[in-house]
Amino acid sequence: MMLNKKTYAAITTDNVDALFALPEKVLQFGTGVLLRGLPDYFIDKANKQGLFNGRIVVVKSTDQGGTDAYGVQDGLYTILEKGIENGSVVERATINASISRVISAKSKWDEVLKCASNKNIKVIISNTTEVGITLVPSDASSFFPESFPGKLLHFLMERYRVFGGSEDAGLVIIPTELISDNGSKLKEVVLELARLKGLDASFVAWINNANDWCSSLVDCIVPGKLPDTEKSAFESKAGYTDDLAIMSEPYRLWAIETASEKTAAILSFAGADARVILAPSINKYKEIKLRLLNATHSLCCGIAYLSGFVTVKDALKDNIFRSFILAMLLEEIVPLVADGDISLEEANAFALQVIDRFSNQSIEHLWLNISVQYTSKMKMRVVPLVEKYVKQNGRAPKLMSFGFAAYLVFMKSKEVAPQKYMGTYAGVGYEIKDDKAAEMSTAWTSKNTFVASSVFNEQVFKYVDVIEASSVKDVLGSLAK
């Protein structure tokens, strides 16, 4: 049987009629799996606890893929969580009933604008990819805006018109696009479009003062649809079919930056789960993620790939690699992160969660994908850590130095076609997708120095020489002991 409202009532103890009767309170731009696996997860959880009591209208930017599946399934879909929590394997399924309907912005833009007159709608969420928060000047003169900020401006114009510029009609706007200060940047683009459009000062003041533009940080790996074999196995066990089912890891974090009590009251779904955080500043959560998760990914990428591991989960099954990454996290990185408003306990707990997440055998995370734009990632994520370590200790961090050395060896390449660079290690070739590939190739040819700090530079190139003379695995084995 297909999952829908009727069958949902037969397979759950939830009050289905009550959930479907909830008013629409959220307008969501995007149907992507991250939104369905994270914000929509928390809203559904809060609804089932009687805390938020509101459903989501989803705006689909194009007609591609259609909205039929949502109609057939009454907006219902399953989230299958698979992974590791506190060292133990977990697998659980939840039917999400937070989505009321899906509207195509391309073919039913008037239906989207009608939502502006719904006084119950108080929240706007978006995830339109990082390039979604971009200024498209032509949207200032277009009847049908192309970009997400253009669509949002038109929606706010209609909201302002319907409610006569009332302060109470203001919205809580929470972009989840994976860029820093996403709320502030979205607001800047919308205001610039308003200026280009020549909108009056009272409307601009309403945009600024009546609406809370909340930057946010989302953290959850949501690979998307279940592979066919897993989908069949799940549906056989669950007793229903679901064409919208998605898989996610168990770990979730949604940090929302706001100091407004009014906003906190509107975002009452935060009370359903401690992993939704409302705070005047979310910088500490960004720092923890950047240094303990992202920097660790980058530091391990060259080591793992040059050791012959294709995916993250493959590397974590290797006891030597696992010992290395754990030691690097707990001995070198955590003490650097545990500073200011980040406690040692918080940093340690997150580090152990990183190991659990990397160990998830249900996620195919390729090291080659992680290596894309490797140089900029190392500069942003790792170099500040190294500089801080050298300043505090007067010496180079041994394990991070090895990670940096493996990055340099990985980036040693030749141009095989215009703007196409290939690296080779242990007889295996791989393409380097990095804007700095040409610069790095030239630096290797001329034997330029890569790292500014002489202490760190010396340690790194000792490892580079050893790696080139023997193998990454040999060095890894000696360091992990």
End-of-domain residue from the set 280, 312, 328: 280
Q: What is the CATH number of the domain that holds 403?
A: 1.10.1040.10
Same domain, 334 and 424: yes
* pLDDT for the residue numbered 64: 61
- Nearest residue to 245 (alpha-carbon basis) of 253, 254, 256, 234: 234
Same domain, 255 and 319: no
> Cβ of 107: how many Cβ atoms within 10 Å?
12
- Which structure tokens are listed for 238? 């669950």
Same domain, 352 and 235: no
Same domain, 393 and 257: no
Same domain, 257 and 290: no
Number of domains the chain is built from: 2
- Per-residue DSSP letters for 26-39? EEEE---HHHHHTH
AA letter at 359: S
Same domain, 259 and 313: no
* pLDDT for the residue numbered 294: 97
Kindly give the parts of the chain with pLDDT less than 70: 62-67, 130, 446-453, 481
Q: What is the CATH number of the domain that holds 88?
A: 3.40.50.720
* pLDDT for the residue numbered 70: 94
> Cβ of 71: how many Cβ atoms within 10 Å?
12
Same domain, 244 and 367: no
Same domain, 52 and 101: yes
Same domain, 104 and 252: yes
Same domain, 249 and 313: no
Same domain, 377 and 359: yes
Structural domain harbouring 442: 284-479
* pLDDT for the residue numbered 67: 64
Q: How far apart are CA 94 and CA 99, in angstroms?
A: 14
End-of-domain residue from the set 259, 280, 301: 280
Exposure string of 338-375, with b = 16+ CB inside 10 Å and e = fewer, is beeebeeebbbebbbbbbbbbbbebbebebeebbeebb
Same domain, 97 and 152: yes
Side-chain-side CA neighbours of residue 254 (13 Å): 24
- Which structure tokens are listed for 234? 């799940």
End-of-domain residue from the set 280, 297, 321: 280
Q: How far apart are CA 421 and CA 336, in angstroms?
A: 35
Per-residue three-class SS string for 220-273:
CCCCEECCHHHHHHHHHHHCCECCCCEEECCCCEEEEECCCHHHHHHCHHHHHC
Q: How far apart are CA 443 and CA 17, in angstroms?
A: 66
